[in-house]
Structure 1
Amino acid sequence: MARAIWNGAVIAESDQVEVVEGNVYFPPRSVKREYLQASETHTVCGWKGTASYYDLVVDGKANADAAWYYPDPMAAAANIRDHVAFWKGVEVER
């Protein structure tokens, strides 16, 4: 079972994650949406496509752009469509 934890809260938890380039991508249904706020940030990967970001907010503390996902990935990354990955101090246990 993989988990993403930040500021004492379990943000995501699943036994059906995808691992790409060392990053753990959690299926959309396994992420606790109450901790996510849409961000205006976007980045582009040459083979995955355009990533969108979320800020994490737990107990009034924010972590800007700490989660990302690919809403419309390129064909090579279709397996991570809408899956959410974390960084910036989010602890991911596997």
Structure 2
Amino acid sequence: MKAVIGSTVVAEAPTEDLVKIEGNWYFPPASLAEGAFEKSPTQYHCPWKGDAQYWNVGSGEDVAPDGGWSYPEPLAGAADRVGQDFAGYVAFDKSQVAIAE
């Protein structure tokens, strides 16, 4: 699968390497395009996943502010609930980033 902003592929991995949580595909850290992610100061806390890290995603003209998020250190039990560890995996805002097979 690919995560694309404009014409820029910001993440790409086989579907079996992704994790689907609450309707969102989370891409593994190794699948992220180098230089396409800048930390955002936006804060969010999920009661069962923990503190999220938001990302401004893309490059040049194709940048999605807060276009991605990850959970660097998910809460205890979150990986069990999902069925695998998703620490550092990145999901994308579907209104700004296209997810395609």
Q: Does TM, normalized by the shorter one, top 0.5?
A: yes
Counterpart position of 2:86? 80
Deviation by residue 1:28-80 (Cα, 9 ceiling, x = unmatched): 00001311111111201111001011101322343210000001101233321
Bigger strand share: 1
CA distance in 1, matches of 2:61, 2:27: 24
Q: CA, structure 1 residues 61+93, in 2 after alignment: closer, same or farther (shift >3 Å)? A: closer
Mapping of residues 53-68 of structure 1, within 5 Å: 53-68=54-69
Higher mean C-alpha deviation, range 53-62 or range 7-16: 53-62
More off after superposition, 57-66 vs 21-30: 57-66
Equivalence for 1:50: 51
Aligned residue pairs, count: 93
Residues 41 and 26 of structure 1, relative CA distance in 2, 3 Å threshold: same
Q: Percent identity?
A: 34
For 1:63, the aligned partner's letter is A
Residue 82 of structure 2 corresponds to which residue in structure 1?
A: none
Structure 2 gap segments, 5+ residues each: 80-84
* 1:92 aligned residue: 99
Task: Provide the TM-score with structure 2 as the length reference.
Answer: 0.84
My pick for the range that moved more, 9-18 or 53-62, is 53-62
Q: In structure 2, what is the Cα distance between the partners aligned to 1:26 and 1:57?
A: 15
**Equivalent residue for 1:29?**
30
Computed over aligned residues only, the root mean square deviation of the Cα atoms, in angstroms, reads 1.3
In 2: Cα distance, 1:35 partner to 1:11 partner? 6
Q: Distance in 2 between the 1:72 and 1:5 partners?
A: 26
